[in-house]
Amino acid sequence: MYSAGASSHIQPLVSHIYTADPSAHVFNDRIYIYPSHDRETDIEDNDNGDQYDMVDYHVFSMPSIGGKVTDHGPVLRQEDIPWVSKQLWAPDAATKNGKYYLYFPARDAEGIFRIGVAISDKPEGPFTPDEEYIPGSYSIDPACLVDDDGQAYLYFGGVWGGQLQCWQTGKYDHAWYGPQEPKGDGPALLPRVGKLSEDMRTFVDGVKEVSILDEDGQLLIADDHDRRFFEAAWVHKYNSKYYFSYSTGDTHYLCYAIGDSPMGPFTYAGRILEPVEGWTTHHSIVEVEKRWYLFHHDTSLSGKNHLRCVKVRELLYDEEGKLHLAD
């Protein structure tokens, strides 16, 4: 009855506030979700995403899928982050050496998106932000993978409102500001990755591009809007392979690519989710008690692009390691 994208029949995880961009993790045998906290504004929808004008983060947790959800309240506020001017967008969290790190994008005093880090002793926060953004960071949608050897990687990037197109030369170029990107059969813009230092607060070796290849080993091209990277990077590991999943933005798919190294390259492997209600689509993939789940959002609670709600669905792997929605 429902397409692989339809999710209107699934209940939101919470409905007392609007939530989006869910990054889910299992820490200490409990599921923690780090979403954006959408709020009502008078800002009209535009392709730069100005209507996503969020000012704080809540953390949620639950003992199991379907279990009671606890809202741990505001754990980090814009007014407490010295370098931020506005727009607390999609966060992620990671743990290492007994500390918990919340990574978040926001605009700096010049209106340029950067990525910050805030630290806590507990997964539910509250989190204390560093005074400055991570040096060398830019654009949006950080996602952190701590690999089995303890090395942490921060993936990030988002096109149009996320400003990735302004960084094609490695320096910010305001001529590319706004909803635009390269066109034609040249390479599409690529997401970025940086290895994180032992203290999780800086990049150790700068920032690199993450290659996403087609079936012939060529970079996906700019005009391939059904498959090229737009935003919402997420990396998880399954059977020693690295799965890089992401949103295609203006074509509204969640896709994924598979590789042998956390630095890539990754080869395009298919779609995870068809378009849902609302313009954006953003997700995370997490293993809970030997089953795998997709956390994502749609706008079924409000009917408005900037007031989203988080949902969860089971994912299955086939024998080739390809991902499929369970229902």
Binding interface with ligand FUB (CB under 6 A): 20-21, 36, 49, 52, 89-90, 140-141, 158, 231-232, 280, 282
Tell me the closest approach of the beta carbon of residue 230 to ligand FUB, in angstroms: 8
Closer of 113 and 293 to ligand FUB (Cβ): 113
Tell me the closest approach of the beta carbon of residue 276 to ligand FUB, in angstroms: 11
CA–CA separation, 87 and 108 (whole Å): 9
Closer of 148 and 257 to ligand FUB (Cβ): 257
CA–CA separation, 39 and 184 (whole Å): 37
CA–CA separation, 253 and 271 (whole Å): 7
CA–CA separation, 103 and 241 (whole Å): 24
Measured from the Cβ of residue 9, the count of other Cβ atoms closer than 10 Å reads 10
Closer of 207 and 254 to ligand FUB (Cβ): 254
Nearest Cα neighbor of 101 from 19, 198, 245, 17 is 198
Closer of 36 and 211 to ligand FUB (Cβ): 36
Tell me the closest approach of the beta carbon of residue 308 to ligand FUB, in angstroms: 8
Q: Does the annotation count 173 as an active-site position?
A: no
Closer of 108 and 214 to ligand FUB (Cβ): 108
The strand pairing partners of 61, in sequence order, are 32, 70
- Residues composing the chain: 327
Tell me the closest approach of the beta carbon of residue 36 to ligand FUB, in angstroms: 4
Tell me the closest approach of the beta carbon of residue 307 to ligand FUB, in angstroms: 11
Tell me the closest approach of the beta carbon of residue 89 to ligand FUB, in angstroms: 4
Token pair listed for 199: 């203290």
Nearest Cα neighbor of 111 from 145, 73, 161 is 161
The strand pairing partners of 266, in sequence order, are 212, 259
Residues 38, 181, 231, 277: which is the catalytic one? 231
CA–CA separation, 176 and 118 (whole Å): 30
Angle subtended at Cα 227 by Cα 25 and Cα 282, rounded to the nearest 5 degrees: 30
Which residues have a Cβ under 8 Å from the Cβ of 149 and sit 6 or more positions away? none
Q: In what order do the strands lie in the sheet with 143-146?
A: 143-146, 152-156, 192-195, 208-209
Q: Does the annotation count 231 as an active-site position?
A: yes
Closer of 77 and 122 to ligand FUB (Cβ): 77
Angle subtended at Cα 175 by Cα 171 and Cα 177, rounded to the nearest 5 degrees: 90
**Catalytic annotation, residues:** 21, 231
